[in-house]
């Protein structure tokens, strides 16, 4: 026997592990802000995705020109990490088909994903995915281009487990503002704030349903926006609650000032990472058999069930840009 079996091979069957996406998804809708986001991504590295917005970002009447500009930015050398996606118009909107034609037809091989907003139910999303796949086949681009979707309608929330189970779906996001508005004033405005959105029962229920559906289908749950972009403490507190209380592994940013607090909040602490490394290295040395490890002054037993948790801590550290010792990275991930 050798101890070269990597954690991903030892701990997960095919399809069990969720995609390893950056923990922050940054939205921008104007060319100036898109270029600034690409420059910031070049500085920080691929610790956040950039979603170029063809829905709310597109001027009414100029949707085709906006989509063409987004496609060109996705193709540009500034997209150096391949972590740029795009949000199209909702399925059924007059601009949806043209968005997909332009984005997939021109830049499908360089897009990390397409985000589909406002599906009214499962069938909407199935038809949107079918159209995206048809355009990819016609143009020979973007084969199996990942699709993300926004859960922000009553019907989408009702169908959220079936939507998460669709093979072509990689991630589901919660659309807080539209969801609150869909209740016709029955949910107060305070439920859209950084604190109230974690307290109102109907909003809490929606967040938990989306997270549970994603984890059950090995997909990535992405938390909604926080509008308080000038208060880093409020952003960080919301991100920590999303990650540690609500089970989200990704979160939206709508202002560059939100990116760093979100990434930092989703990153494990140094102590968490050190403990995870020690346990996983010991497990690897034991050929993934059970081990005894001393934690907080007590001997504790671990096996593959708990190894999966500690491995995910290490994977999250890597996604948030935390450096790993070179020998640890080599042992666990292999040569780059």
The answer to the question of residue 11 being in a domain is no
The answer to the question of residue 2 being in a domain is no
Nearest Cα residue to 33 out of 20, 46, 51: 51
The CATH number linked to 258 is 3.20.20.60
Q: Note whether 171 and 244 are same-domain residues.
A: yes
Question: Are 313 and 274 contacting, i.e. CB atoms less than 8 angstroms apart?
Answer: no
Structural domain count, the chain:
2
Q: Note whether 122 and 181 are same-domain residues.
A: yes
Could you list the pLDDT tens digit for every one of the 336 residues in the chain? 444 788 888 888 877 788 899 999 999 999 999 999 999 999 999 999 999 999 998 899 999 999 999 999 999 999 999 999 999 999 999 999 999 999 999 999 999 999 999 999 999 999 999 999 999 999 998 788 999 999 999 999 999 999 999 999 999 999 999 999 999 999 999 999 999 999 999 999 999 999 999 999 999 999 999 988 888 999 999 999 999 999 999 999 999 999 999 999 999 999 999 999 999 999 999 999 999 988 777 888 999 999 999 999 999 999 999 999 999 998 888 886
Nearest Cα residue to 49 out of 251, 201, 234: 251
Last residue of a domain, one of 225, 241, 266: 266
Last residue of a domain, one of 245, 266, 287: 266
Question: Are 224 and 258 contacting, i.e. CB atoms less than 8 angstroms apart?
Answer: no
The answer to the question of residue 5 being in a domain is no
Q: Note whether 56 and 146 are same-domain residues.
A: yes
Q: Which domain holds residue 252?
A: 24-266
Nearest Cα residue to 212 out of 264, 160, 285, 275: 160
The rounded distance, in Å, linking the Cα atoms of 255 and 225 is: 10
pLDDT of residue 1: 40
Q: Note whether 161 and 274 are same-domain residues.
A: no
Q: What secondary structure letter does DSSP report for 268?
A: P
Last residue of a domain, one of 248, 266, 284: 266
The rounded distance, in Å, linking the Cα atoms of 122 and 144 is: 19
Q: Note whether 254 and 296 are same-domain residues.
A: no
The answer to the question of residue 16 being in a domain is no
Q: Note whether 188 and 103 are same-domain residues.
A: yes
Taking the model in full, what pTM does it have? Answer: 0.93
pLDDT of residue 336: 67
Q: Note whether 315 and 276 are same-domain residues.
A: yes
The answer to the question of residue 285 being in a domain is yes
Q: Note whether 254 and 289 are same-domain residues.
A: no
Q: Note whether 135 and 162 are same-domain residues.
A: yes
Q: Which helix (H) or strand (E) segment is 99 a member of? A: helix 96-107
The CATH number linked to 315 is 3.30.1580
Which residue in the block uniquely carries the two structure tokens 């193709």? 75
Q: Note whether 304 and 196 are same-domain residues.
A: no
The answer to the question of residue 313 being in a domain is yes
Residue 62 tokens read as 């100029």
pLDDT of residue 295: 78
The answer to the question of residue 15 being in a domain is no
In terms of Cβ atoms closer than 10 Å to its own Cβ (0-12, 13-18, 19+), residue 31 is middle
Question: Are 317 and 267 contacting, i.e. CB atoms less than 8 angstroms apart?
Answer: yes
The answer to the question of residue 111 being in a domain is yes
Q: Note whether 226 and 288 are same-domain residues.
A: no
Q: Note whether 184 and 314 are same-domain residues.
A: no
- CB count, 10 Å around CB of 115? 23
């Amino acid at each position: 026997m050798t101890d070269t079996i990597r954690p991903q091979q030892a701990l997960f069957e095919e399809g069990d592990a969720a995609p390893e996406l950056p923990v922050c998804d940054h939205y921008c809708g104007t060319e100036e802000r898109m270029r600034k986001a690409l420059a910031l991504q070049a500085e920080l590295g691929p610790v956040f995705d950039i979603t170029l917005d063809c829905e709310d970002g597109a001027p009414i009447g100029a949707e085709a020109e906006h989509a063409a500009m987004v496609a060109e930015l996705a193709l540009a050398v500034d997209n150096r990490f391949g972590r740029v996606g795009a949000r199209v118009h909702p399925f059924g909107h007059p601009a949806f088909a043209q968005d997909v034609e332009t984005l997939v037809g021109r830049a499908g091989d360089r897009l990390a994903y397409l985000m589909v907003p406002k599906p009214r139910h499962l069938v909407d999303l199935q038809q949107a995915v079918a159209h995206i796949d048809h355009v990819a086949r016609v143009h020979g681009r973007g084969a199996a281009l990942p699709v993300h979707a926004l859960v922000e309608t009553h019907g989408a929330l009702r169908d959220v487990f079936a939507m998460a189970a669709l093979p072509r779906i990689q991630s589901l996001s919660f659309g807080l503002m539209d969801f609150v508005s869909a209740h016709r004033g029955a949910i107060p405005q305070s439920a859209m704030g950084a604190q109230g959105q974690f307290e109102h029962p109907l909003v809490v229920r929606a967040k938990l349903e989306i997270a549970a559906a994603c984890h059950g289908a090995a997909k990535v749950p992405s938390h909604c926006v926080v509008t308080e972009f000038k208060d880093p403490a409020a952003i960080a507190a919301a991100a920590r609650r999303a990650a540690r209380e609500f089970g989200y592994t990704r979160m939206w940013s709508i202002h560059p000032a939100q990116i760093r607090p979100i990434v930092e909040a989703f990153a494990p602490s140094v102590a968490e990472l050190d403990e995870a490394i020690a346990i996983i290295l010991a497990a690897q040395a034991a050929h993934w058999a059970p081990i005894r490890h001393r934690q907080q002054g007590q001997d504790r037993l671990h096996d593959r069930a708990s190894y999966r948790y500690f491995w995910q801590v290490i994977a999250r550290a890597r996604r948030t840009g935390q450096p790993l010792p070179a020998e640890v990275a080599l042992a666990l991930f292999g040569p780059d």
